């Protein structure tokens, strides 16, 4: 059952980092965290890519009793970088975390190699005060996503690594939530117009709630950092070879 108060409790921090301030404070793939609130009751990860798993940001949120849950394959990474033992999850599970009913949904690409089904990466459906909130993760339209029943959906619309606006609208029209928040778009993925392109294709009875913070250059920064590291390594190899 859709509740406006639940929609208002959802914040897109940046890109596809989500904060839900309900009876518990829940984060999904937090990045670009301001300050050090240390207020997380529950942190969920969809997969380990750098625009979704940022240890330096997660550490700003942790408190003594924070519960972390992640795909099974991320357990070692969470222990190593966060010092926390996560609840390991697989697709198609149902459980309660911090008294919040949680369902997992497989998140993967059909043809692109970026998010392979075999990795068992995840989307989540959270039951917040009777309202079902679907955070899709990085995914294409899949058999699993088409079976989702939800009131609010947060869907990636940037293309390249996920659904593009047209594909995301097709999924939204099929599962027919009350409200969709388009996320995971901006520079390098879909451009700033991706959310409006999505809205123009969604059935009129579905509300599109565009959050400016979902339009992000986080991937530009990430790839720039990778480029600098690659150049640095190349220079070091060159200097070592000269000295040998």
pLDDT means over runs of 10, the chain (244 residues) = 97 95 97 96 96 96 98 97 97 98 97 92 98 98 98 94 96 98 89 94 97 81 48 53 61
Q: What pLDDT was estimated at residue 176?
A: 98
**Report field, pTM of the whole predicted structure over 0.75:** yes
pLDDT digits (tens, 9 = 90+) for 18-29: 999 999 999 999
Q: What pLDDT was estimated at residue 231?
A: 44
Q: What pLDDT was estimated at residue 232?
A: 53
Q: What pLDDT was estimated at residue 228?
A: 40
Q: Rounded to the nearest 5°, which phi and psi values hold at 139? A: -150, 160
Residues 6+ apart with CB under 8 A from 73: 48, 119, 120, 121
The 8-class DSSP code of residue 100 comes to E
Whether the Cβ atoms of residue 139 and residue 108 lie closer than 8 Å to each other: yes
Residue indicated by tokens 């190349």: 234
Overall domain count for the chain: 1
Bridge partners of residue 181, in order along the sequence: 154
Q: What pLDDT was estimated at residue 217?
A: 79
Whether the Cβ atoms of residue 90 and residue 105 lie closer than 8 Å to each other: no
Q: How far is CA 83 from CA 33, 64, 98, 109, in A?
A: 19, 11, 19, 30
Q: What pLDDT was estimated at residue 241?
A: 60
Q: Which domain holds residue 159?
A: 4-243
What is the CATH number for 34? 3.60.15.10
Q: Are strands 67-71 and 207-208 parallel, antiparallel or unpaired?
A: unpaired
């Amino acid at each position: 059952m859709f509740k406006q108060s639940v929609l208002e409790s959802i914040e897109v921090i940046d890109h596809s980092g989500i904060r839900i301030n309900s009876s518990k404070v829940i984060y999904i793939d937090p990045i670009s965290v301001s300050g050090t609130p240390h207020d997380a009751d529950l942190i969920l990860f969809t997969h380990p890519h750098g625009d979704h798993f940022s240890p330096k940001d997660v550490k700003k949120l942790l408190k003594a009793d924070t519960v972390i849950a992640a795909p099974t394959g991320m357990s070692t990474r969470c222990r190593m970088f966060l010092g926390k033992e996560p609840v390991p999850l697989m697709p198609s599970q149902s459980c309660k975390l911090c008294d919040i009913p949680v369902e997992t949904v497989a998140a993967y690409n059909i043809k692109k190699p970026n998010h392979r089904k075999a990795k068992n990466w995840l989307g989540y459906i959270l039951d917040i005060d009777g309202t079902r909130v679907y955070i899709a993760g990085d995914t294409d339209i899949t058999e699993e996503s088409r079976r989702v029943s939800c009131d609010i959906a947060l869907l990636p619309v940037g293309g390249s690594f996920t659904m593009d606006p047209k594909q995301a609208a097709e999924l939204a029209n099929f599962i027919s939530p009350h409200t969709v928040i388009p996320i995971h778009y901006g520079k390098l993925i879909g451009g700033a117009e991706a959310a409006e392109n999505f809205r123009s294709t969604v059935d009129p009875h579905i509300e599109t709630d565009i959050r400016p913070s979902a339009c992000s250059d986080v991937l530009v920064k990430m790839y720039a950092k990778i480029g600098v590291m690659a150049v640095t390594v190349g220079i070091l190899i060159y200097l070592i070879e000269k000295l040998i």
